[in-house]
Amino acid sequence: MGARFQNLVEMQRNACQVHHKRKMYGTKLGKSYIWTTYGEFGRLVDEFRGGLASLGVSRGDKVAVIANNCVEWAVGAYAVYGLGAHYVPMYESQKMEDWQYIIRDSGSNVLLVTNPEIYGKTVGLTGEIGHLSHVIPMFEDGSDISYTQLCKTGRDNPKPVCSPDQEEPMGLIYTSGTTGNPKGVILSHKNLLTELDALDQVADGLFSPEDRGLSFLPWGHLMGQIQEVHLLLYNGYSSGLVKDINEIAEDFALVRPTIFFSVPRLFNKIYDGVYQKMKARGGLIFSLFLNAIQFHQKAFRGESLGVTEKIRLGLAQKLIFSKIRKLFGDRLRLSFSGGASLSKEVAEFMDCIGVPVYEGFGQTETTMAVTMNTPGGRKLGSVGRPVPHAKVILDTSVESTAEGEGEIVVYGSLIMKGYHNLPEETRKTIDEDGGLRTGDLGRFDEDGYLYLTGRIKEIYKLENGKYISPSPMEEVLKNSPFINQVMIAGANRLNNVALIIPEELAVRNFAQEQNMDMDKPGWQKDPRIYQLIEKEVDIFSRSFKKFERLARFELIWDEWSPENGLLTPTLKLKRRLIMERYQELIDKLHRVN
C-alpha cells in the first residue's frame, strides 16, 4: 500500500498540525458561514477523546451517532478513532426501528445525537438496550453529560491518543437496506487509507489546500464521508456544510466552492432548472443554448469547428454560460458524481459551463470508488477505469440482459473485512479467491472503461422471456425535465408499465402556459398533463428496445422519500415496498394491456 499514514488518527493529527491556521469546516449561521480551523478541530478532537474516555470508552468499543453533517460529527469520529474504538453513523432521516436495530446489532455502548427532537426520542434507549450506557446530546442542553461538558472533562483530564493497527476496524457503515435489515460493513483503517491513496493517485495533484468544497452528501453514507471528511483531511482543503438542501443555491454563492461532490439527482435538477429557463426565453437564446452544447462536445471529441460554430459557441459562453458559472460562485472548476449513472446529456451541459463531472463506481463494501474517470482519461457515460489497488473483472456466467455484460467483481485491499454478525452473507459476497461480488452488471469497452448496465437482483423476465434491467431505463426517463421519479415493473407480464412522479414545478409552469386553473382541486388530472408526460416518455425511451418500451404508465403526485419509507437514505428505490403499496394500481395497468 502506498498510503502516507499508518492509520486515520495519524492522518488527522498531521493535517491539524500542518494546516493549523487554515479554515476547515464552515457552519452556516444566518446568511454567512462561521469557520472552524484545523487547529481548533484538532483541539476539539483531543478534548472530546478525553471526555469519551471518562465514560469508559476504550479500544474495540462502538460509538454510534445520529446526525446530519456538522463539525461535531467529524470531531466525534476522530475522537473515537483515537481511542481505538469504532464509529457507527446513522441518518437523521431513518426511522426509530432502524436506529434501534443498528444500535443493538453493532453493540454500541454510546450514542451521540445532534438533534434535540431525536435526542428526546432516543434518550430512553439506555433502559431498553442493555449495552447502551449513554446517549449524549451534541448540543448544549444543561445536562451533566453533554458534548460541551465532555470536552471540558477531556480538557481537564487528557487521554493519550491510541494508534490503531492498519487492520483494525475504523467503524461499521450500515448499508441502506433496499430489502430487509441494513447490513453493517466492517471497514478497516487500511481500507480507508488505501482508498484515499488511490484517489490521490488518479487525481494526480488535482486537490490542494486551496480548494473548497460544499458538503451536502450525508456522512452516514461512505461516499460523502470519504470525500468531505477523510479526503478533506488527507489533502488539507476546506468545506462549507450545507444546512438545508433547499438553500444550496445561496450556499454556492456564499461558500464559492472550487470542487463539488454530488449524485446524479442534483446535477439533473441543475440541468432541468437551466433548461426550463432557457426554453422559457425561447428564440435565439434557447437555440444558442442547445447549439453551444452540441458544438462544445464536437470540439471535445477533437473535431474542428466552423467559423459560425465558433462564433455561436463564444457568444453562448458570454451570454449564457458565464452567468450560470456565477450561480456556482464563479470558482467551481470540477465536480464528482457517483451512486448512479449520470446521463450523457447532463454531463455535456456541465462540460459546457466549464465544470467537468468525473464519474466513478464503487460500493460501501469496496470502500467506495474502484473505478474513476480522471483528468487524464475520461469517457462520458462511463464510470471510468479501475483505480490503483483495485482489480475489476466481469463474471459473464450470470444471467444478463445483453452479450458482453457480467457481474462486476472486485479484488484488492479496498474490499471490506466482512459484514458484522453475518458470516453467511459475507461468504456469499466474497468468493474463496477474494473477489467481492458487487451485484452490479456492467460491460467494458475496448479501452477498458466500465459502463454500468443494471443490478442483478432487479433484473426480471417478461412473459416472452426477455430480460429487463429497470434501473438504467428509469435513469434515462428521469432525464426529462418533467419526470422526477419513476419505477418500472413487468415481471412475468406481457409488457412493462411504470409509476411516474412528475417534476411538479416544471408541470406547474406547463399548466400555467396552458391556462389551467391550478386553484381547482384535481387540476393534475387534466388530460393535457398526461399527454405531456406521454410525449416525454416517448422522446426519452427512443433508445429502448421495442420490448422494453412502456405499454402504459400512471402519474402519482406523492413523492417517494426516506421519510415515507419508499426510498433509502441514499435515495434508492425500495422496490418491494413500492410494489406492495401500489400493487393494485400496477395490476390495473397490466390488465389494461
d(CA 272, CA 451): 24
Last residue of one domain, picked from the residues 430, 456, 482: 456
| Same domain flag for 533 and 408 | no
Which are the contacts of 40, defined by CB distance < 8 A and separation ≥ 6? 24
Same domain? For 388 and 472 the reply is: no
Residue 274 lies in a domain: no
For position 179, what pLDDT does the model report?
60
Give me 155's grid cell.
Answer: 480538557
Last residue of a domain, one of 456, 491, 514: 456
Please provide residue 21's backbone torsions phi and psi, each rounded to the nearest 5 degrees.
-95, -5
Residues 440 and 483 grouped into a single domain: no
The answer to whether residue 195 is domain-embedded is: no
What's the burial of 273, exposed, middle or buried (CB within 10 Å: 0-12/13-18/19+)? Answer: middle
pLDDT at position 354: 87
Whether 402 and 470 share a structural domain: no
Specify whether 420 is located in the same domain as 464: no
**Domain check: are 112 and 239 in the same one?**
yes
Q: Is residue 155 part of a domain?
A: yes
Sign of CA dihedral 261, 264, 265, 271: positive
520 CB contacts (<8 Å, ≥6 apart)?
none
The reply to whether 269 falls in a domain is no
* 8-state DSSP, 588: H
Domain-located, residue 3: no
Where do we find the cell 476496524? Answer: 169
- Rounded CA-CA distance 75/466 in Å is 52
**If you compute the radius of gyration of the chain from its CA atoms, what whole number of angstroms results?**
25
Q: Strand locations in 166-244, DSSP E?
A: 169-174, 184-188, 212-215, 238-241
The reply to whether 542 falls in a domain is yes
> Same domain for 222 and 299?
no
pLDDT in 10s for each residue of the chain, 593 residues: 446 899 999 999 999 999 999 999 999 999 999 999 999 999 999 999 999 999 999 999 999 999 999 999 999 999 999 999 999 999 998 989 999 999 999 999 999 999 999 999 999 999 899 999 999 999 887 677 899 999 999 999 999 999 999 999 999 999 976 567 889 999 999 999 999 999 999 988 889 999 999 999 999 999 999 999 999 999 999 999 999 988 999 999 999 999 999 988 888 888 888 888 888 888 888 899 888 888 888 887 788 889 988 898 899 889 899 999 998 999 999 899 987 778 888 888 898 888 899 999 999 999 999 999 998 889 988 999 999 999 999 999 987 767 889 999 999 999 999 999 999 999 999 999 999 999 999 999 999 999 998 899 999 999 998 999 999 899 899 989 899 999 999 999 999 999 999 999 889 989 999 999 998 888 999 999 999 999 999 999 999 999 999 999 999 999 999 888 898 877 889 999 999 999 999 999 998 75
Q: Is the dihedral of CA 216, 198, 174, 343 positive or negative?
A: positive
- 511: CATH: 3.30.300.30
Cell of 53: 474516555
pLDDT score of 206: 85
* Residue 264, in any domain of the structure: no
All three cell numbers of 383, joined, read: 464510470
* Domain carrying residue 81: 8-164+205-258
CATH of the domain at 316: 3.40.50.12780
pLDDT number for residue 380: 87
Instruction: Report the distance separating Cα 339 and Cα 329, nearest Å.
Output: 25
Question: Do 250 and 356 belong together in one domain?
Answer: no
Last residue of a domain, one of 456, 478, 502: 456
Say whether both 233 and 131 belong to one domain: yes
Strands (E), 110-255: 110-113, 134-137, 169-174, 184-188, 212-215, 238-241
C-alpha cell at 251: 450556499
**Number of compact structural domains in the chain:** 3
Residue 450: phi and psi, rounded to 5, are -95, 135
**Is 444 in the same domain as 514?**
no
> Which stretches of 108-219 are DSSP H helices?
116-122, 147-156, 189-203
Residues 115 and 82 in one domain: yes
In this structure, the dihedral spanned by the alpha carbons of residues 362, 387, 237 and 231, taken in order and rounded to 10 degrees, is 50
End-to-end Cα separation, the chain, in angstroms: 57
In DSSP terms, 358 is beta-bridged to: 336
Please check whether residues 252 and 383 belong to one and the same domain.
Answer: no
Q: Are 423 and 371 in contact (CB under 8 A)?
A: no
pTM: 0.90
Residue 190 lies in a domain: no
Answer for the pair 115, 92: CB distance below 8 angstroms, yes or no.
yes
Residue 260 · residue 248 · CB < 8 Å: no
Instruction: Confirm if 66 and 118 have CB atoms less than 8 A apart.
Output: yes
The grid coordinates listed for 202 are: 488518479
C-alpha cell at 140: 448544549
